[in-house]
Amino acid sequence: MGITSPEKLAEEENRNSINLTSSLTEKIIAQDSNGETDQNAILKLKKTISRDRQSAQVESLERLKSAMLDDTVRKIHTAQETGASNWLTCLPIRAKGFSLNKQEFVNAVALRYGWPVEGIPKTCVCGVPNNVDHTMTCKRGGIVCIRHDEVRDVTASMLREVCRDVSTEPSLLPINGEQLQYRTANTANEARVDVSARGFWNRGQRAFMDIRIFDPMAACHRRISLEAAHQKNEQEKIRAYGDRIRNVDHGSFTPLVFTTSGGMGPKAKCFYSRLADVMAEKKHQPRSHVVA
């Protein structure tokens, strides 16, 4: 989980501490009560130490990845995405569902690194042999719907704090002869998206969002980069709904794409960054408090 060993770093950190405090140490030894330490030099040294420390960690990770299996490297890349580690750093607020018991924590770590998860059924309800990868993609097993609906409901809950006319699974206006740009566009009269809110991007305009959570370890995504997988899923959503919502509903459309580990696609990053800004302004709180 990126936790460094204090024992291995002790000698290097001791040298850094000595270098940082050397000017102050010299003044204490000389009993110089009038002199001042050069704060600019200390700040520059701190930046150098931080940069060297980060470079050493990157080099260490690259050495480790060269000896790992491809699936393990893929899991590490997935864990490094924006949002994928939030569950490790957020406050364990029970009312928000952020407080994991010990079994949930162990399972979350196992999923993060592709380790076996104990206690899952040997056979899925769909009848095929079960494993973690199958559980993440089988639409009859329940996990796919549960995780999707959880993201939808949490997003709608946050939007209700700052927007008007928020609804989940709103129906789109029916098509009456309008021509859509893409053949893969959803033309069904009963078409729905996951969330809508008025005034999110533009004053008075209705914003529509649709959520997709994909497994980066699935066969259709395994051979492409995570960036390409996010873009592929975003474009599929845009082709399905973007043109219709823009020209028929006269609204905006944002695809919210995530990996099963919580990593966010570019559009989702932009959306939740905007949501954090609006919530901070609405609550008169620093943005750092809102996203904590």
Kindly report, residue by residue over 14-38, the tens digit of the pLDDT.
999 998 888 888 888 888 777 777 8
Residue 96 has pLDDT above 80, yes or no: no
Which tokens hold the place of 85?
A: 């580690």
Q: Rounded distance, CA 169 to CA 194, Å?
A: 4
Of 234, 190, 179, 232, give the one whose Cα is nearest residue 210.
234
Residue 219 has pLDDT above 90, yes or no: no
Architecture of the domain delimited by 145-291: 3-Layer(aba) Sandwich (3.40)
Name the 3-class secondary structure at 252: strand
Side chain identity, residue 103: Q
Q: Rounded distance, CA 82 to CA 86, Å?
A: 8
Q: Rounded distance, CA 144 to CA 134, Å?
A: 11
pLDDT (0 to 100) of residue 238: 96
Angle between helices 39-66 and 6-29 (to 10 degrees): 170
Residue 292 has pLDDT above 80, yes or no: no
pLDDT (0 to 100) of residue 202: 93
pLDDT (0 to 100) of residue 1: 65
Percentage of residues in the chain with pLDDT exceeding 90? 46
Q: Rounded distance, CA 75 to CA 167, Å?
A: 35
Of 292, 191, 290, 286, give the one whose Cα is nearest residue 243.
191
Q: Rounded distance, CA 191 to CA 250, Å?
A: 15
Q: For residue 252, list its beta bridge partners.
A: 207
pLDDT (0 to 100) of residue 148: 94
Give the mean model confidence (pLDDT) for residues 204-209. 96
Give the mean model confidence (pLDDT) for residues 94-115. 86
Say how far residue 249 (Cα) sits from the centre of its chain: 29
Return the residue matching tokens 């649709």. Answer: 210
Give the mean model confidence (pLDDT) for residues 244-255. 95
